[in-house]
């Protein structure tokens, strides 16, 4: 007959991660709490909690934080990750526009369609995994939020495409000398998509690097479901089928072979306007509120919080709501 033990996690709440790790390996290494000379209830709590914590990588002062602080931090990082959901949606939407353009121009081949299917599958899998771990009300609100946020960016993309196109025209001879495909209109659309793919990959990398730098914990395991950076490689493969040639820049991102579009001040300026929108916290907060207003249940909860708060506590109420529905700004 199996013996059931009561697990009292309050015993480990205030323990530093380093102590939890030490106790875990002491107990498992010596074959049990009795041989290790450690209280049985504490040992059980440690064995239980380490199954969850042990999958993370800690560095710097990360192991000095308490178990309670770790779980509070994990929730906070999850709330911050909303900006990556925005980037995922925006990048996919941008690539979808490029694919639709190819379709309109009758440029789609069997192989091009095949690589686009891979991109679709990657995005669909991410959406399903995200939805599976989110209640329906929160899911609907997040989807409204990322859609509204991307709507703020889309009007600036044509300006970026024109800037890229004009630069390619100026450097057409250099491109052709490197064997690049002579199709300025397509290359301009393509390069715009490449810029979003690069932004997606680097934003994700920088997000986790910053978290590790700030807190000494790598929370990557919590967000593997949301890693869609492979769409960048498949996007490149789509256009390789159409004869486009690529190389990689200093950041290991794909760029058009034969031309350095990043040298264009006009392209940089057009891209910076997009970045300014994406990183505009006030605008993103506004889109979050609009998303809340589109969902009656969320709106009622929001209005109740506001009604209960004193004016000086309003910011706190908004923060709590944002955490609950994961639509807070960064």
Alpha carbon distance 167, 184 (integer Å): 10
Alpha carbon distance 82, 78 (integer Å): 7
Distance of CA 146 to the CA centre of its chain: 12
What is the mean pLDDT of the segment spanning 131-147? 85
259 phi, psi to nearest 5 deg: -155, 145
Q: Which single residue is written with the structure tokens 């506590």?
A: 313
Does residue 313 register a pLDDT over 90?
no
pLDDT averaged over the chain?
Answer: 86
What is the mean pLDDT of the segment spanning 5-22? 87
How many other C-beta atoms can be found within 10 angstroms of the C-beta atom of residue 152? 17
pLDDT over 70 percentage in the chain = 87
Residue 284: predicted pLDDT: 78
Domain ranges of the chain: 9-54, 76-283
- Give the dihedral sign, CA 306/312/315/319: negative
Q: CA 73, 226, 297 angle in degrees (round to 5)?
A: 70
What is the mean pLDDT of the segment spanning 57-72? 92
Residue 291: predicted pLDDT: 77
203-228 per-position pLDDT tens digit: 999 999 999 999 999 999 999 999 99
Whether the Cβ atoms of residue 101 and residue 192 lie closer than 8 Å to each other: no
308 versus 207: the higher-pLDDT residue is 207
List the one residue out of 66, 54, 72 whose CA is nearest residue 12.
66
Does residue 124 register a pLDDT over 90?
yes
pLDDT over 90 percentage in the chain = 64
Residue 328: predicted pLDDT: 33
Alpha carbon distance 31, 33 (integer Å): 7
């Amino acid at each position: 007959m199996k013996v059931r033990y009561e697990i009292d996690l309050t015993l480990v709440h205030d323990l530093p991660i380093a102590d939890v790790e030490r106790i875990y390996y002491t107990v498992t290494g010596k074959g049990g709490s009795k041989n290790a000379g450690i209280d049985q209830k504490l040992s059980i709590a440690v064995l239980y909690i380490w199954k969850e914590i042990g999958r993370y990588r800690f560095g710097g002062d990360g192991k000095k934080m308490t178990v309670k602080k770790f779980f509070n931090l994990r929730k906070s990082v999850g709330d911050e990750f909303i900006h990556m959901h925005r980037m995922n949606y925006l990048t996919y939407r941008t690539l979808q526009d490029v694919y639709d353009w190819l379709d309109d121009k009758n440029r789609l081949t069997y192989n091009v369609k095949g690589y686009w299917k891979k991109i679709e599958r990657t995005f669909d899998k991410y959406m399903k995994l995200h939805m599976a771990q989110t209640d329906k009300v929160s899911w609907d609100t997040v989807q409204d939020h990322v859609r509204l946020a991307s709507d703020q960016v889309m009007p600036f993309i044509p300006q970026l495409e024109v800037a890229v196109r004009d630069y390619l025209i100026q450097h057409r001879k250099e491109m052709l000398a490197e064997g690049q495909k002579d199709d300025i209109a397509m290359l301009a659309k393509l390069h715009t998509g490449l810029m979003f793919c690069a932004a997606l990959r680097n934003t994700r990398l920088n997000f986790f690097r910053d978290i590790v730098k700030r807190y000494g914990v790598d929370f990557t395991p919590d967000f593997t479901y949301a890693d869609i950076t492979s769409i960048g490689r498949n996007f490149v493969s789509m256009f390789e089928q159409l004869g486009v040639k690529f190389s990689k820049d200093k950041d290991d991102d794909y760029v058009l072979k034969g031309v350095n579009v990043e040298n264009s001040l006009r392209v940089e300026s057009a891209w910076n306007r997009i970045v300014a929108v994406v990183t505009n916290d006030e605008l993103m907060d506004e889109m979050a509120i609009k998303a809340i207003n589109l969902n009656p249940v969320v709106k009622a909860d929001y209005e109740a919080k506001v009604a209960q708060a004193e004016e000086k506590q309003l910011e706190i109420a908004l923060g709590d709501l944002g955490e609950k529905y994961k639509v807070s700004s960064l």
